[in-house]
Structure 1
Amino acid sequence: MISPLLRGLARHRLYTAINLASLSLGIAIFLTMALIVRYEADYDADLPETSSLYRLDQTWTLPGRAPEEIAGASFVAAPFLRQDFPTITEILRLVPQSQPVHAGARVEQEDTSFVDPDFFSFFRLRALDGDRRSALAEPANIAIPASLALKYFGTIHAVGRTMRIAQDARPFVVTLVYADPPRNATYHFGIIMRLPSEAAGWQAVTHWGSTWGPLFVRIPDAGALPSIRAGLRHYMARHPGANSVQTIRDDMGDGELVPVPFRQIHFRDATIGTGTISRALVTILGLVGLAALGTAGINHINLTTACASLRAREVAVRKVLGATRASLVRHFMAEAMILTAVATFCGLALCEMALHVIGTLGGWQLTLDPVFCGTLCLAVVLALGAGAGFYPAMILSAYAPAPVLAASRMPAGGRMGARLHALLVTLQFGFAIGLAICTLVMTHQARFVRMMARGIATEGLIVVTSAADDSLVDRQDVLRRALATVPGVTGVERSDIYPHFVTNGDTFSLDTTPENGATLNWGFATPGYADLYGLTVLAGRWFDPQRGEDLRETRRLQPTVRSVVLSRAAVEQLGIGSPQAAIGRLVREEDAAPALRVIGVIDNLRLNGPHEHVHPLLFYGLRPGDRARTAVAMHVRFSGVSAPDMIARLHAAWIAAVPDVPFAAETVSDILAQDSRSDRAHGLLFGMGAGVAVGIAALGLYGLSLFTVSRRRHEIGIRKVLGAHSGNILLLLVDHFLRPVLLANLIAWPIAWIGMRTWLSSFDQRIALTPWPFVTATAGAVLIGYATVIAQTLQAARQPPARALRNG
């Protein structure tokens, strides 16, 4: 049975090869997109019993502003939730933090999580060594992931081993080793330890608006959610903590808590601007995969039906020899199944190669899961083989033997057949052009994000983040001097305002209008910080070390007036008309002294991602050697040496100065490149889809042009006998083949315009959606189509009419 099937495919090798290539490419894209969709949709799926787990998000709603949701909430609510809502059975506070870890002679920086003792009743992490129930029974107990157990102890059986964390002198005892969560988990807990006794005085526990981490609740009865949601409205005013009710209303408006189901957190974070990929984009990627598969199937139908006449005599002979139409349908369907099965195997191989590129650039850890991929491949063979093979099988099996055997030429398919082929080519190129437009727009936006003005000079800068360790508060000046002596270093400044984020935020208001507050992010900076980062001063001046009121050790020193510098966004938030008008104005933090006099206004700094609004900033001055309330990072400018070499030199100087604290540093260029990484990865996926779609469409067009030219040689000969020139013939054929490519724009342009306009609207700063990506994609498709058909059309146009009439 197999031999006749293979013989039928081998008889027309070129068309079989074209079909096989297009099907393989389409299946490869489909499998790749399916794996990405599965990866994103399965976020947090490995954690058991999370269906009743919710994260409470904090929402601020101020008059005249859009509601702002924060991923997490202040812990002020924790003591009251169970008494206000009996259906909330458990509450968990979690504070993530990066801390130095000492194990033997090793000192490394590791992620840690301060949690309540009942952590493991919320997250049933798989225990590899130890007992979850007693893992956090004592304050000095810790649980570590298997990766850290192997890293520090060489075995996962590390229960009973000890570690020192930060500057705590006591040894922490490992009581549990748990399996590392997969990459597609929202929370990677690292070293899990109990909240310390002093946590009761943390600002996150006493003040609304201070969010140090997520607050989880367990609600076993889903039917209680509507009443809980209603009760959490205005919850901040009902339990104000250390804030006054008026302060809450001024700063947060109608503040409320929103329970977010745990399995929805991944896409919810993208919606509120703290995640990387939205559900809509994942859905689009899935549709791209389906469309690629559909395009390959369309190409198979188009090419098989167009070339059906080549097998008309074969069908006629089979029918004369007794074959029924049903048996012929089964035969041709079996051929399609075999071709699809081979293409699926090839597509699987192409998919595996693509996964390495996608994993490197996009951060996805994708693997060819045997069960998932096997099931998907079987479904593809059955669905695509049957779906794409049925219509051609019906066309082929319908030929009547007598007319076919009596005719000197094979049936051509008629005008309806030609229109069907043109429609299918139009759909193929429409999909390809649409993806090409999306790829160009995404790539341009990602480039814009990398190059957009951030208000800082980004080259030749390194941020030594480990300098912000709390244990270095009293050693900052020693450390600063040590780093400043490193060869190649041209400047070292201190600040807790980083080029990619700022931690602190409070409400400030003008001294004359204390009732109109604005939330500003604030931080310390030494006098050389402005020159180090190339800040643009719009009005006034930066901090001057010769002026006593400019630089102070702490920001709440009384009774003097402190000097501050604002960003342009902060001036706008405070309602001051212009940067010049802000100079000399007095600003106060809520219920805090001293007054703050504005001495300068700088241009905006984009310290956050491209999807968020620019943060309004307030700077306090800090002497280079003074002790701040908290440790701040070192910002190092260098020249004359490569970034890796400079980081190595700084590391050596660090070890000599503070060997008890692990070193961590990153270039500003690398930090800011992360903002566009996800968008570049998404553009890469669309680019892969566009390239494959264009390739499939080009293969189909090539096969159709090859067949059509061979069928029209007789017509071409007659036209040339009647006086047509080669140029007329060439124009006629090229116009015939490229018309569907041009009509495809009627499909591609509106859909791509709507999709990209929606996507760009998620960015705070974005490119304009101009016609050039549309024109470029169309021109590229036309050129590819022209290059695809020009060889055989040119050959047909130049052929002598006698040979065309003899062979036609």
Structure 2
Amino acid sequence: MFASGFGILPRRGLYGALNLLGLGLGVAVFLTMMLIVRYEYEYDSYLPGASHIYQVDDDLRPAGRAPYENSWISFVPVPFMKQDFPEINQVLRIIETPMPVRAGPVLEQDMVTLTDRNFMSVFDLPMLEGNKATALDGPGKVVLSATMARKYFGTIHAIGRRMRIDNSGEDEIVSAIVADPPPNATSDFGIIMVFPSAWLEKLPFHNWGSQWGHVWVRIDDPRAVPRIAAGLRGFPYRHPAGWTESLIRFVYGDGGLTLVPLHAVHFHNAAIGEGGVSRRLIDILGLVGLAALATAIVNYVNLATARAALRAREVAMRKVLGATRRALIGRFMGDAVALVAMAVLVGLALTELSLRWVNMLGGWNIAFDWTYVLPVSVLIVLIVGIVAGIYPALVLSSFRPAAVLAASRMPAGGRVESMLRSALVVLQFGFAIVLAVCTLVMTDQAAFVRVMDRGIAKDGVIVIDALADSSLTARQAEIVRRLADVPGVRSATRSDMYPHHTIDSNLWRRPGSDRRISVRWGRAAPGYFETIGAKLVAGRLFDEHQGNDYHAGSEQEGAGTSIVISRLTAERFGFASPEAAVGQELRADDTAHNDRIIGVIDDIRFGDAHDPMSPLLYFGRSGSFDYVAAIIRYEGASRAEEMARLRSAWARIAPDVPFSAREVTDIFAVDFRADWSYGALFGIGSAVAIGIACLGLFGLSSFNVSRRQHEIGVRKVLGAGRRQILALLVGEFLRPVLIANLIAWPVAWLFMSRWLSGFDQRIALTPWPFVIAAGGAALIALLTVLGQTVRAAANPPAESLRAG
């Protein structure tokens, strides 16, 4: 078959090359996108019994406010879940948190999974060494993944080795080694240990409002799931744990808890704004792959049917020499399948080459899996080969030899065939223009998010979250003072409110009012607002010389404690202006005293661009507090140089705690990097789609120009000039491109308006991306056909008449 394909390529010349390249590009885009879709949809499928595992989410439906969902929930309901629902086989609590880890000379900060003893009964991780039944049967034991074992001990044979976690003073003993999960796993579970007893006294185990971790359940009987899901709806009301019914109703409304199947968690968490990947984007990428392949197939069939008529004399001669219709059908089908097979080989090579760049763009680790790619490729060869070969095989094999040989011109096909080919070109360019518009809008939005005003300074600010280590609690202020002496540091402070880190929220109200407002609150040490570049709009900031501004701890706070709020907070509480809020009081639901507003700052967007802006409130704090980070502003040095200086200073100040720090610009980069990457993928898809469409347009224009030579000669004899001929041909070839815009623009507008609606701050959907995409497609199409039309218009009439 391949020998036949190579044999017909020289005879088909430009036609064969165009078909080969166009279909090869379409196959490459299709396979690449399908590998991405497969990778995303198979998240967590490696786990045995994955279909029986469910994440328990908070489902909040407060009256008068938009419903929302959290995968981070309180552990209050855990003791009651098996009691209320005997069908639940296992209930599991998990907190994943970064901790310092030391094994011998190796000191690093890694994510540690704190959990219950029945962890392996829910997440049945593949075991390399150790006993699942005893691996986590008590405190003092730790389970490592193969990667973590090699990192800390240089080998996976690490059972019985000792390591210290969280500077607790007690060594943990490695009890088991589990296999590394695939890259498409929600959690890698690199270091797993049972909750230390001290953790069981922390807030999330006793307070509905403390949402620190995740709750998972295993339900072996799928028939029980609907009943359990219905019963979880009002769960907080049945087990209030100290909360009043009015508070539960204010927070949860008609909601409660809900179940999310493990296989849906990856997309579901993205939908509720907690990481993961948007299912809609992945589905769109899959549609891009299908549409690219369909475009390539359409292009291939279009060229095949257009050029098939040129083989009419060959068919007639073969019939004269005794060829049967069956033999001719077999020959045409064999030629088509051979060419398609060669194109698929080109597509496979392009796919393997492109995966490296695709992985870099999307942050994936997608492998070129032959067990998936090979069957799909064979299917493409058979389907496309049959579709592309069926028309020439059936139509041309039915020609009567005498009529064809007696005719002075080749059969040209009817008006219906010509209209069909034009319609196919319209669809090709319509798809390409939709992708081009999506590319422009997505990259514009990513660029907007990158430079948008967040209310704080982004450049020259470093967050050192290693300061949150519990062993440094008593030394926080001293450590910040010593970091301030590092060369290049302009100011140093600390807070638990910084980019992508606002962990505390509470319900607040104005004295005398029952209207509660949820507010993100935190603590600010001296110099905080100046270091982050916050803008004061009314009142004043905390002052160390004012007795009610800074306190050593919450126990020192009382009536009249100073607070600073954001502009949005003032609006939410109904103050007429920021100035009107200064001097007023607010009260938190869990306190018995009022706090006094001394200043209002401009709004700060600590979260990403998808999330609504949060109202903020600050207390001044001079003493130590939890979940704190050092915040450093520097100047006069490069980022790498200043980071190296801080790392060196940290090693002297806190040698037992691994250094962990990030530039604020890097923290915020997470907000636009994924959208930019998807925009780049759409750009690649649109470039390939336009390329395939232009290949088809070039082939069809070449065919049509060659068939219209006689018409062109006649028009010239009758007085038509070169410009008129050129305008006629160019207008005819560009008409499908212009019609494609009428189809593409509404579709692209619908897709992008829905996509942009997922951002709290976004660009306006202006006509410019549509105009640029349309103009670019028209220009490329014009350049594609210009050479042929210019040559046809320049031919002398006599030569055109002889050619026709």
Taking structure 1 as the reference length, the TM-score comes to 0.97
Cross-structure match for 1:545? 544
8 Å contact kept, 1:495–1:526: yes
Q: CA deviation at 1:89?
A: 1.9
8 Å contact kept, 1:494–1:635: yes
2:759 pairs with 1:759: no
**Pairs within 5 Å for 1:160-199:** 160-199=160-199
Q: CA deviation at 1:259?
A: 1.1
Q: CA deviation at 1:593?
A: 4.2
8 Å contact kept, 1:251–1:518: no
Cross-structure match for 1:229? 229
8 Å contact kept, 1:135–1:175: yes
C-alpha distance after superposition, 1:514-553 (max 9, x if no partner): x221111111112322222221222112111221111112
Greater shift in the superposed pair: 20-29 or 330-339? 330-339
Report the AA paired with residue 797 of structure 1.
Answer: A
Q: CA deviation at 1:48?
A: 0.7
Question: d(CA) in 1 for partners of 2:558 and 2:274?
Answer: 39
Cross-structure match for 1:449? 449
Cross-structure match for 1:28? 28
**Alignment partner of 2:645 out of 627, 637, 649:** 649
1:486 partner SS = coil
2:368 pairs with 1:372: no
8 Å contact kept, 2:476–2:624: no
**Pairs within 5 Å for 1:585-596:** 585-596=584-595
Q: CA deviation at 1:467?
A: 1.4
Cross-structure match for 1:604? 603
C-alpha distance after superposition, 1:312-350 (max 9, x if no partner): 111111111222223222211111111111111111111
Question: d(CA) in 2 for partners of 1:74 and 1:274?
Answer: 16
8 Å contact kept, 1:549–1:560: no
Greater shift in the superposed pair: 75-84 or 564-573? 564-573
Question: d(CA) in 1 for partners of 2:774 and 2:110?
Answer: 51
1:254 partner SS = coil
Cross-structure match for 1:571? 570
Cross-structure match for 2:625? 629
Question: d(CA) in 2 for partners of 1:498 and 1:558?
Answer: 23
Q: CA deviation at 1:496?
A: 1.0
Distance 1:5 1:682, change over 3 A: closer
Q: CA deviation at 1:297?
A: 0.6
Question: d(CA) in 2 for partners of 1:325 and 1:549?
Answer: 99
Q: CA deviation at 1:779?
A: 0.6
2:703 pairs with 1:704: no
2:140 pairs with 1:140: yes
Report the AA paired with residue 749 of structure 2.
Answer: W
1:615 partner SS = coil
Distance 1:340 1:598, change over 3 A: same
**Alignment partner of 1:722 out of 699, 703, 718:** 718
Q: CA deviation at 1:23?
A: 0.4
Greater shift in the superposed pair: 95-104 or 591-600? 591-600
Root-mean-square deviation (CA), in Å?
1.5
Question: d(CA) in 2 for partners of 1:59 and 1:575?
Answer: 28
8 Å contact kept, 1:276–1:678: no
Greater shift in the superposed pair: 270-279 or 68-77? 270-279
8 Å contact kept, 1:251–1:507: no
Question: d(CA) in 2 for partners of 1:674 and 1:211?
Answer: 23
Q: CA deviation at 1:574?
A: 2.7
Report the AA paired with residue 714 of structure 2.
Answer: I
2:34 partner SS = helix
Cross-structure match for 1:400? 400
8 Å contact kept, 2:361–2:677: yes
2:676 pairs with 1:667: no
Question: d(CA) in 2 for partners of 1:30 and 1:90?
Answer: 42
Question: d(CA) in 2 for partners of 1:292 and 1:526?
Answer: 56
Q: CA deviation at 1:666?
A: 0.9
Greater shift in the superposed pair: 495-504 or 668-677? 495-504
Distance 1:703 1:102, change over 3 A: same
8 Å contact kept, 1:315–1:397: yes
**Pairs within 5 Å for 1:211-610:** 211-513=211-513, 515-610=514-609
Q: CA deviation at 1:565?
A: 0.8
Q: CA deviation at 1:674?
A: 0.7
Cross-structure match for 2:797? 801
2:466 partner SS = helix
C-alpha distance after superposition, 1:268-297 (max 9, x if no partner): 111111134222222221111111001001
Greater shift in the superposed pair: 446-455 or 93-102? 446-455
Question: d(CA) in 2 for partners of 1:344 and 1:3?
Answer: 15
1:185 partner SS = coil
Cross-structure match for 2:615? 616
2:634 pairs with 1:638: yes
1:137 partner SS = coil
Question: d(CA) in 1 for partners of 2:593 and 2:384?
Answer: 73
Question: d(CA) in 2 for partners of 1:329 and 1:419?
Answer: 26
Where does structure 1 lack aligned partners over 5 or more consecutive residues?
Answer: none
Cross-structure match for 1:208? 208
Q: CA deviation at 1:594?
A: 3.9
1:193 partner SS = strand
Q: CA deviation at 1:769?
A: 1.3
Report the AA paired with residue 293 of structure 1.
Answer: L
Q: CA deviation at 1:41?
A: 0.5
Q: CA deviation at 1:246?
A: 2.8
Question: d(CA) in 1 for partners of 2:627 and 2:226?
Answer: 44
Report the AA paired with residue 530 of structure 2.
Answer: D
Question: d(CA) in 2 for partners of 1:419 and 1:161?
Answer: 75
2:502 partner SS = coil
2:677 pairs with 1:681: yes
Q: CA deviation at 1:233?
A: 2.1
Q: CA deviation at 1:689?
A: 1.0
Distance 1:365 1:5, change over 3 A: closer
Q: CA deviation at 1:388?
A: 2.7
C-alpha distance after superposition, 1:669-704 (max 9, x if no partner): 111111011111211121111110000000111111
8 Å contact kept, 1:741–1:781: yes
Distance 1:792 1:213, change over 3 A: same
Same amino acid, percent of matched pairs: 50
Question: d(CA) in 2 for partners of 1:73 and 1:255?
Answer: 14
Q: CA deviation at 1:227?
A: 2.1
C-alpha distance after superposition, 1:60-92 (max 9, x if no partner): 222211111101321100111111111112110
Question: d(CA) in 1 for partners of 2:554 and 2:768?
Answer: 52
Q: CA deviation at 1:571?
A: 2.1
1:133 partner SS = coil
Report the AA paired with residue 527 of structure 1.
Answer: P
Q: CA deviation at 1:3?
A: 5.4
Q: CA deviation at 1:136?
A: 0.9
Question: d(CA) in 2 for partners of 1:395 and 1:299?
Answer: 19
Cross-structure match for 1:156? 156
Greater shift in the superposed pair: 299-308 or 193-202? 193-202
Distance 1:783 1:388, change over 3 A: same
Question: d(CA) in 2 for partners of 1:476 and 1:584?
Answer: 31
Question: d(CA) in 2 for partners of 1:4 and 1:250?
Answer: 75
2:613 partner SS = coil
C-alpha distance after superposition, 1:199-244 (max 9, x if no partner): 3321101000211111111222222222222221221121111323
Report the AA paired with residue 178 of structure 1.
Answer: V
**Pairs within 5 Å for 1:752-791:** 752-791=748-787
Cross-structure match for 1:107? 107
Report the AA paired with residue 533 of structure 1.
Answer: I
2:691 pairs with 1:692: no
1:113 partner SS = strand
**Alignment partner of 1:735 out of 715, 731, 735:** 731
Report the AA paired with residue 391 of structure 2.
Answer: Y
**Pairs within 5 Å for 1:59-98:** 59-98=59-98
**Alignment partner of 1:792 out of 773, 780, 788:** 788
Greater shift in the superposed pair: 690-699 or 554-563? 554-563
Report the AA paired with residue 506 of structure 2.
Answer: D
